A and B are shown apart, each in its own frame.
Chain A
Amino acid sequence: MAESIRITTPFTEEDSRKLKAGDSVLITGTIISARDAAHKAMTEALARGEKLPVDWNNQIVYYLGPTPAKPGDPIGSCGPTTSGRMDAYTPTMLAQGIKGMVGKGSRAPEVVEAMKKYGVTYFAAVGGAAALIAKSVKSYTVLAYPELGPEAVAALEVVDFPAIVVIDSEGNNFYEIGQKPYRNFDINQI
């Protein structure tokens, strides 16, 4: 695997379109956490015609619900959660200008279509590597929905946050590309 590509935020459509499925990246700058409850709250706010509490233009969203920080630490353990649970809300959120998503696991076809339309990149962080990932987070500041606790929308200042491009802005899927050479199984042969 080639050397990691360093990317810094804000993350524009031009930055996003340069990345290809399978690229290893290190993200530096600000990424914004949001997961199930925050996605529900934000899409409901949009449906009511309200303005969102955060400007998502050229931002990277991180699907995350961290453990509480120990005293003196900026954040607790903070690995990615399953992205698929956000799929129902994602096309609406991408229309708000999000250009990168960090999570883990597969995405729905309509999410991939919206990604191609807006030039968005989907990154995977290693699921369950939560104590390791915490090392790259320098600060955690709640931006909205503090009542949601670990599900609040928060800004994370990160340095060299490790991730891999899983689905690029053209829809190439590294989950499929990465599995294929090692697949030697057919359920119909049982």
Chain B
Amino acid sequence: MRELDVKVITENVAEMCKEAAYYLPDDVYRGLKRGRETEKSPVGQIVLDQIIKNAEIAKAEDRPYCQDTGMTIVFVEIGQDLHIVGGYLEDAINDGIAKGYTEGYLRKSVVAEPLFNRKNTQNNTPGVIYTQIVPGDKLSITVAPKGFGSENKSGIKMLVPADGVKGVKKAVMDIILHASMNPCPPMVVGIGIGGTMDRAALLSKKALTRSIDQRNPMPEYAKLEEELLEMINQTGIGPQLGGTTSALAVNIEWGPTHIAGLPVAVTICCHAMRHAHRVL
């Protein structure tokens, strides 16, 4: 059985936290450039110029793209033939987050308890860690820091089957219109359809780890992604101060659901659609 030492996991997670904070993925950068070419609002063009310049400075100088370096979401796929040695997986990941956020001069934005005390943990731990057991002997890790300007504008709607495609579109657009310019557009919209309430929310987060250039493999969902993107870009929200580039992409993930249900979760991501991925 293949063995993997937790120290390797910690080191890699630390590197990925920094990488995600400094380097905007190429597909998102290209999406911003395309948006700049088609943006009709003169103010919108100025905003996009600043956003593109910001990505270039962050990358060239290893600086956080945004000061909100997020709460650290980590998706882990563990091959069932892999044996993790030297400690516990979750500890190794949280040690990696603490190391990456400290060494990388990233902002520590996590409080230990949400309502009464709200004391900062000072090292951005714990991360929000999702594990899945998969075939094979590899460990696949995706680090996706999530800023809360956009997270606060996300939402979920428990539709019923009769609501259908029309109901899904209305639910999504209602959340988008309510969010308006607040989640730092141009946004990337992750949508989870189906499952239970929690599964739909998770799917909407997973949708944001997919490239913005890649449409859902099922044609009906790919078409829905394109239709929703067009609607969002006609709201006038634009790149924060009005215009035609409100979103760069809509990514939908779906899952089996109950005969009585049609959950729809929408995670809004700002233009800092950050993630890093490694297979160990």
Question: Are A178 and B41 touching (Cβ within 8 A)?
Answer: yes
Q: Give the A-B pair count, Cβ closer than 8 A.
A: 163
A164 vs chain B, min Cβ distance (A): 6
Complex Cα spacing A185 to B235, Å: 5
Is B80 at the interface (CB under 8 A from chain A)?
no
Residues of A within 8 A of B173 (CB): 185, 187, 190
Which residues of chain B come closer than 8 Å to A67, judged between CB atoms?
64, 67, 69, 105-107
Q: Which residues of B contact A82 (CB under 8 A)?
A: 149, 152, 182
Cα–Cα distance between A76 and B174 once the two chains are bound (Å): 36
Q: Is the CB of A130 within 8 A of B43?
A: no
Kindly name the residue among B106, B149, B231, B235 whose own CB sees the greatest number of chain A CB atoms within 10 A: B149
A104 to B61, CA, bound (A): 25
- Report the contact-size class of chain B (Cβ under 8 Å from the partner): 35 or more
Interface: A177 (CB within 8 A): yes
Given A76-B107, A129-B54: A181 and B149 within 8 A (CB)?
A: no
B270 → chain A closest CB, angstroms? 6
Tally A residues with Cβ within 8 Å of B.
49
Q: Which residues of A contact B85 (CB under 8 A)?
A: none
Cβ–Cβ contact A69 & B105, under 8 A:
yes
Distance, CA A105 to CA B244, complexed state (A) = 18
Q: Which of B44, B67, B149 contacts A77 (CB 8 A)?
A: B67
Nearest B residue to A79 via CB reads B67
Contact B58 A77 (CB under 8 A): yes
Q: Which of A101-153 contact B (CB under 8 A)?
A: 104-106, 124, 126-135, 149-150
Partner of B240, one of A68, A69, A104: A104
Q: Give bound CA distance, A19 to B120, whole Å.
A: 39
Measuring CB to CB, which residues of chain A are less than 8 angstroms from any residue of chain B?
Answer: 1, 22, 24, 64-70, 76-79, 81-82, 84, 104-106, 124, 126-135, 149-150, 162, 164, 166, 174-175, 177-185, 187, 190
